[in-house]
Every structure is written in structure tokens, then in C-alpha cells.
């Protein structure tokens, strides 16, 4: 009996029940906010203060958010077999906090707790014990929209700067229009090149990006199970061998129990 090979792909929906908004779902960030103003290199060049304020607010929200039963079920699955990889589009640390080890996880869109230089290779990671400095609130709690602020150059004086080259530091996440981190792409491709998977689980993502669909299908090439956990239909739904239209924290514990009880893991 061979070790069951498992690929899990997650998106913002897996952290929704921890209180972290999704992007395109109901109450998602991109319903009210314009990604071009917050999550592009051009936005950062135009108004780094606004971008930093938004990321600091999100860091604080994530620090305060508990893991949920979906993160815990995925961590249990990760611990069960060696042939396991989690590819998450989430920049939060909830999979790690639930116990998925770094060698079994790829954060393909980066990590919100990494701060890196916008020019050179300098970077550092850490959740930080203290709250983020209280800037002004970027997203208005009443309507979820951006408050209007005028970009002022004096404000840049408060922004963190690189100790090596003095350029502005930025959050260590992938923005629209940027390349995925090559080393992380290679880790996914190495895992997939070795063999197809017996089980692919896709959780809480609209699968907007082609590479997410490609990786799911490549992993499923030997005709194993492709399980989608998402209350809504997505472009991946038609390829799924099983569609679970329930919230992740409800559905995943049972799915993982079934898989681990099969004994092949
Ligand atoms: P989206 O916001 O696009 O999609 C969230 C998905 O989760 C939707 O399909 C929802 O139906 C589903 N969902 C909502 N609640 C759920 C729950 N409780 N359980 C299971 N599913 C649930 O988020 P992503 O697909 O992760 O990238 O978005 C991908 C990328 O687009 C993000 O990483 C981010 C964003 O722009 C960058 O910032 C580069």
C-alpha cells in the first residue's frame, strides 16, 4: 500500500469563519475597495502610506483571528502522511498556527507578516508581539469603503525604510501585476512532477487565477479524487469528482476523518 498523495489548495474562504474577509465573496474586500489602489506596485509608488495603513489593519485583524476547524482538519491531514502539500493563496498565518509545518506548505501569494525592501533583497519576518502602530483607519467601518486621503510627501517620513539601502520597506505579499515567487512555484512543480495525487482538495477559492486550476488538474491527472469545498460554484466545479457546497469549517473535519480512516494515509 503506498502513501496517499494529497494536494490541498486553499483560498480566502478557508479563513472566512475565522472572521477574515474574503476578496470576491459576500462582504469581500474587492466588493468595496479597488485593488488598483491598494494591491499593486503602482499603488504603493503613488501612496505608500495608504497601502501600509491597509496592510497594518489587516495584520492586526489576522493576529486577533482564531484558527477554525478547517485549518485544524487540514493540519491533521498534513501530519498524517509524508506525501502532502498545501498550497495556499492566503497571506495570513492561520494554517501555520493550526500546525502545518513550513516544508508542507507553500504561501504562493506571500506572507503578510514579512516586511521586505521595495528595492533590494532585505527582508524580515515576524508577527510582532505588539499591536501595529495606530495609523488612521483606512477602511471606514460604516460602509467598507476607503476613506479619502490626500497623498502627502511628509507622511512618508513615518514609513519603514530598509536598513541596507534606505528604500521604502513594503509588505512581503504578491501584488497584482507581480511575478509569483519563483522558489515557491518550483516547490509546487517539484511536488507535482514527482507524481499525480490520489486526492486533491480545493477549498474556499474562486480559482480566479489560471495557475490554481492548472495545478489542481495536473495533480488530478491520474484520475484520483478532486474534492471542491465551497458554498458557491467556481470554474473548477465542473472538474470536481465531489462538490461540497458547505462552509469549510463544517465540511472539512468529516472529509479529513474519512480520508485518514481509509488507512492508506
Ligand atoms: P476570493 O475572495 O476570490 O474567493 C473566496 C471563495 O471562498 C469564494 O469562492 C467563496 O464562495 C468561498 N467561501 C466563502 N466563505 C467560505 C467558507 N466559509 N468556506 C468555504 N468557502 C467559502 O478569494 P481567493 O480565491 O483566495 O490575491 O482569491 C485569490 C486571490 O485574489 C487572493 O490571494 C488575493 C486576491 O486578490 C492577491 O492579493 C494577489
- Residue 20 CA to ligand 1 center (angstroms) comes to 10
C-alpha 139 to ligand 1 mean position (Å): 19
Nearest atom in ligand 1 to 234's CA: 9
CA pair distance 186, 165, nearest whole angstrom: 29
Q: Order of strands across the sheet with 105-107?
A: 105-107, 84-88, 6-10, 199-203, 225-229, 242-244
Distances (CA, A) of 112 to 52, 76, 79, 137, 148: 11, 24, 25, 18, 24
Counting from 1 in the atom list of ligand 1, the atom nearest the Cα of 91 is 33
Catalytic residues: 109
- Report whether 87 contacts 108 (CB < 8 A): yes
Q: What is the pLDDT of residue 152?
A: 43
Torsion of Cα atoms, 98 then 183 then 7 then 80, to 10°: -50
Residue 236 and residue 213 in contact, taking contact as beta carbons nearer than 8 Å: yes
Mean pLDDT of 58-70: 97
pLDDT > 60? residue 154:
no
Residue range 14-28, pLDDT digits in tens: 999 999 999 998 889
Question: What does the pLDDT read at residue 151?
Answer: 45
First to last CA, the chain: 9
For residue 18 and ligand 1, the question of a CB distance below 6 A is answered with: no
Q: Angle at CA 250, nearest 5°, toward 65 and 4?
A: 100
Task: Compute the mean pLDDT over every residue in the chain, rounded to the nearest whole number.
Answer: 91
154 Cα to the center of ligand 1, angstroms: 36
Per residue in 66-119, pLDDT (tens digit) is: 999 999 999 999 999 889 999 999 999 999 999 999 999 999 999 999 999 999
Closest CA to 74 of 205, 189, 218, 201: 201
Mean pLDDT of 55-71: 97
Q: Is the CB of 213 under 6 A from ligand 1?
A: no
Amino acid at each position: 500500500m503506498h502513501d496517499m498523495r494529497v494536494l490541498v489548495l486553499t483560498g480566502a474562504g478557508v479563513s472566512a469563519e475565522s472572521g477574515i474577509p474574503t476578496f470576491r465573496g459576500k462582504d469581500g474586500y474587492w466588493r468595496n475597495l479597488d485593488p488598483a489602489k491598494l494591491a499593486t506596485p503602482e499603488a504603493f509608488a503613488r501612496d505608500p502610506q495608504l497601502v501600509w495603513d491597509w496592510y497594518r489593519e489587516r495584520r492586526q485583524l489576522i493576529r486577533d483571528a482564531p484558527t477554525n476547524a478547517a485549518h485544524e482538519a487540514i493540519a491533521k491531514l498534513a501530519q498524517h502522511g509524508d506525501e502532502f502539500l498545501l498550497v495556499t493563496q492566503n497571506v495570513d498565518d492561520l494554517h501555520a498556527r493550526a500546525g502545518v509545518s513550513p516544508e508542507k506548505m507553500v504561501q504562493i501569494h506571500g506572507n503578510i507578516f514579512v516586511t521586505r525592501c521595495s528595492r533590494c533583497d532585505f527582508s524580515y519576518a515576524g508577527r510582532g508581539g505588539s499591536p501595529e502602530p495606530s495609523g488612521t483607519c483606512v477602511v471606514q467601518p460604516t460602509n467598507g469603503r476607503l476613506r479619502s486621503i490626500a497623498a502627502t510627501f511628509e507622511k512618508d517620513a513615518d514609513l519603514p525604510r530598509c536598513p541596507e539601502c534606505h528604500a521604502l520597506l513594503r509588505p512581503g505579499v504578491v501584488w497584482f501585476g507581480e511575478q509569483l515567487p519563483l522558489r515557491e512555484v518550483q516547490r509546487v512543480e517539484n511536488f507535482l512532477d514527482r507524481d499525480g495525487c490520489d486526492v486533491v482538495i480545493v477549498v474556499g477559492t474562486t480559482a480566479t487565477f489560471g495557475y490554481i486550476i492548472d495545478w489542481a488538474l495536473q495533480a488530478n491527472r491520474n484520475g484520483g479524487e478532486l474534492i471542491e469545498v465551497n458554498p458557491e460554484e467556481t470554474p473548477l466545479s465542473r472538474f470536481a469528482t465531489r462538490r461540497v457546497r458547505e462552509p469549510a469549517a463544517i465540511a472539512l473535519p468529516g472529509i479529513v476523518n474519512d480520508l485518514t480512516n481509509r488507512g492508506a494515509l
